Amino acid sequence: MKSPVFKKKYQVSISNVNINKRLGLFGLLGYLQDIATLHAEIAGFGLDEMISSNSFWVLVRQEIRMNKFPKWNDEIEIQTWSRTPQGMYAFREFEFFLNDEKVGSCSTAWMILSGDTRRIKKPDFPIEKINPRLDSLLDYCAERIKVLDNFELVNEIKVRISDLDLNMHVNNTKYTQWVLDSIPIELHKSAKLRNYQINFLKEAHLGDEIDIYRASSAKDESAHDTQFKGIRRSDQSTIFYVNIIADT
């Protein structure tokens, strides 16, 4: 039987490093999106398959845990696999390796939406097509974020054409970019990301105006334990929550 684990190597290019000459979170998310798309295509539930059934995948929750970020020109190997679906959710996990050292991991939860109604559809592919991994799974799953209550407005975003994906809604990596752009440059220089969580609640579309709010759960600001949320101004809907834990 074919291995459930799919692997691909990426050389960290200049376009994916941050101001510290290391792979940035936004760049890493691009790699994850790429390898997940490739693996889904190979497995038979990728873009073409979804288009033929007039449906599409949506990322619902994601959590990344990092021990070390690769440097510019390092080669990172990413391994990914599916977990057994549960109810309306499908799950994909990732591990990251640098010179055979595991430097991080990621857990994601997905749903399928109808292209016409935007209603949720059960991921009822044959189990042999999903080919879930049954051993050596991550010891955590991306969960719902516990929401804080001390938010303050820190940024304002208007959705642009370059933010959209092929489904005409905001690409999931762009939410992260909005959050990163809402963090002071001093923290980008000094803080090291350890944990990143995001919950996607609603779609955002071209022209939407999004207010970005920030809250902190730490009494000491040096802990960098911070939460963000995006509110669509037109209807005051919360479209995402993000948790970031970093240290210096």
Q: Tell me which CATH code domain 152-247 carries.
A: 3.10.129.10
Other Cβ atoms closer than 10 A to 213? 19
**Token pair for residue 157?**
């975003």
Tell me the average pLDDT across 56-69: 96
What backbone torsions phi and psi does residue 108 show, to the nearest 5 degrees?
Answer: -135, 150
pLDDT exceeding 70 applies to what percent of the chain? Answer: 97
Q: What integer pLDDT is reported at residue 219 of this predicted model?
A: 55
Alpha carbon distance 233, 214 (integer Å): 16
Q: What integer pLDDT is reported at residue 145 of this predicted model?
A: 96
Alpha carbon distance 145, 241 (integer Å): 7
Q: What integer pLDDT is reported at residue 63 of this predicted model?
A: 98
CATH topology identical between 6-130 and 152-247? yes
Q: Which fold has domain 6-130?
A: Thiol Ester Dehydrase; Chain A (3.10.129)
pLDDT greater than 70 at residue 221: no
pLDDT exceeding 90 applies to what percent of the chain? Answer: 79
Q: Output 55 or 133, whichever has higher pLDDT.
A: 133
For residue 81, the SS3 value is strand
The pLDDT confidence band at residue 135, using thresholds 50, 70 and 90, is very high
What residues contact 46, with CB distance under 8 A and at least 6 apart?
37, 40
Crossing angle of the two packed helices 172-180 and 25-43, in degrees rounded to 10: 170
Q: What per-residue string of b and e applies to 89-107 under the rule 16 or more CB within 10 Å gives b? A: bbbbbbbbbbeeeebbbbb
Least confident window among 100-109, 130-139, 209-218? 209-218
CA dihedral of residues 172, 177, 178, 182 (deg, nearest 10): 150
Longest dimension (CA), the chain: 52
**pTM for the whole thing?**
0.94
Q: What integer pLDDT is reported at residue 196 of this predicted model?
A: 97
Residues 68-93 have pLDDT tens digits of 999 999 999 999 999 999 999 999 99
Q: Would you list the domain boundaries of the chain? A: 6-130, 152-247
Q: How many helices (H) and strands (E) does the chain have?
A: 5, 11
* Closest listed residue to residue 228, CA positions, set 209, 200, 202: 200
242, HSE (Cβ side, Cα atoms, 13 Å): 24
